[in-house]
Amino acid sequence: MDTTITFLQLAIPAEENFSLADTLDCGQCFRWEAEGDGWYHGVVSRRFCRAKQMPDGLLLEHAAEGDEPFWRNYFDLEVSYAAIRERLCRDRQLARAAAFAPGIRVLRQEPWETLCSFIISQNNNLGRIKGIVARLCGGFGDELSVGIHAFPRPEQLAGHTEEDLAPLRAGWRAGYLLDAADKVASGELDLDEIARMPLDDARAALQTIRGVGPKVAECALLYGFGRRECFPMDVWMKRAMKQLFPKGLPRCARADAGIAQQYIFHYARVCPEAFDKK
DNA sequence: TGCCAGGCGACGC
DNA sequence: GCGTCGCATGGC
């Protein structure tokens, strides 16, 4: 058995203001767990790794040397968030929202996993979403090493019954997951093709899945397909937008709407008392 | 105990 | 097209 532990360091310029904790805890991903001492561990696209923020960037344990481009892409490190924030912060309210967690980056996650995760997210809370995703991986995904499972491929879910998925405790979302798996595994829906479609066509294609409406499609496109102009509106965002931007998102945020959304969402979640429930 | 959670589908109008 | 309701589950 090879017991060599590999480390990979990703340099991140200080002006990026990167925060691993805010990035992993802001509700966009569901497979990272905090270990309590600054370390996190998670599985991304069949790669298990531990991550810790260092003064000059990010330290990844168990990450292969050749995977540096993969991880840089995952953490969206080829994009300057300093420049994006500069554009967004021309608006005073956006500047206020971004100030709560300027180190957030919008991860570039796998389309299929992201789609399923946000199907599970509907009328649900972050803790439970993570639990259901963990049980989905444990029950149906490949075991990568002892106790560590990949997210199940569509064909590993397709053909199962809602009864088979009962241990997930996903409730009525189980049927939605199965419909997504059946459509993707059968080729009726081609996620690679969706990735290349004009945005409105991609939205419509995703919404042919039972249980995928405007919100879930928007999240899948933003987090899983890298469509940064997408702007998911959930209950938190609706509350925040009503107070902060009753006339809609300012112009300066148009191209980076998804990233603006992440700042606003996080602000609303960490300061719920600042926003009316109605 | 009731209320709520990163919604959606079915239904009535 | 729009409002309302129920939906499974678990934390508070």
Q: What percent of chain A has pLDDT over 70?
A: 99
Would the Cβ of A278 be found within 7 angstroms of any atom in strand B?
A: no
Would the Cβ of A235 be found within 7 angstroms of any atom in strand C?
A: no
Closest residue (Cα, C1') to C8: A171
Task: Give CA separation, A261 vs A26, A43, A135, A194, A240, in Å.
Answer: 11, 25, 29, 22, 10
Report the pLDDT value the prediction gives residue A277, as an integer from 0 to 100.
73
Q: Give residue-wise pLDDT tens across range A161-199.
A: 999 999 999 999 999 999 999 999 999 999 999 999 999
Q: Give residue-wise pLDDT tens across range A13-43.
A: 999 999 999 999 999 999 999 998 999 999 9
The residues pairing with A26 across neighbouring beta strands, listed in sequence order, are none
Report which of residues A17 and A277 the model is more confident about: A17
Does the pLDDT of residue A148 top 70, yes or no?
yes
Does the pLDDT of residue A1 top 60, yes or no?
no
CA at A30, C1' at B8: how many angstroms apart? Answer: 21
CA at A216, C1' at C4: how many angstroms apart? Answer: 21
Q: In the structure, how many helices (H) and strands (E) does chain A have?
A: 13, 7
CA at A211, C1' at B3: how many angstroms apart? Answer: 24
Q: Give residue-wise pLDDT tens across range A37-87.
A: 999 999 999 999 999 999 999 999 999 989 999 999 999 999 999 999 999
Does the pLDDT of residue A236 top 60, yes or no?
yes
Burial class of residue A114, CB neighbours in 10 A (0-12, 13-18, 19+): buried
CA at A68, C1' at B7: how many angstroms apart? Answer: 37
Kindly report the bases of strand B lying within 7 A of a protein C-beta atom: 4-9
CA at A28, C1' at B7: how many angstroms apart? Answer: 17
Residue A2's pLDDT band, with cuts at 50, 70 and 90, is: low
User: Which nucleotide's C1' atom has the smallest distance to the CA of A264?
Assistant: B6
Closest-CA residue to A216 (of A125, A135, A117, A137): A117
Would the Cβ of A123 be found within 7 angstroms of any atom in strand C?
A: yes
Segment A223-237 shows an average pLDDT of: 97
CA distance linking residue A98 with residue A143, whole number of Å:
39
Burial class of residue A209, CB neighbours in 10 A (0-12, 13-18, 19+): buried
Ordered structural domains, chain A, with CATH: 7-100 (3.30.310.260), 111-224 (1.10.340.30)
Report the pLDDT value the prediction gives residue A278, as an integer from 0 to 100.
60
User: Which nucleotide's C1' atom has the smallest distance to the CA of A258?
Assistant: B6
Segment A10-15 shows an average pLDDT of: 98
Average pLDDT of chain A is: 96
Report the pLDDT value the prediction gives residue A4, as an integer from 0 to 100.
82
Protein chain A, residues 59-88, with a C-beta closer than 7 Å to any atom of nucleic acid strand B: none
Segment A122-135 shows an average pLDDT of: 97
Protein chain A, residues 135-194, with a C-beta closer than 7 Å to any atom of nucleic acid strand C: 166, 169-172
Would the Cβ of A156 be found within 7 angstroms of any atom in strand B?
A: no
Kindly report the bases of strand C lying within 7 A of a protein C-beta atom: 7-11
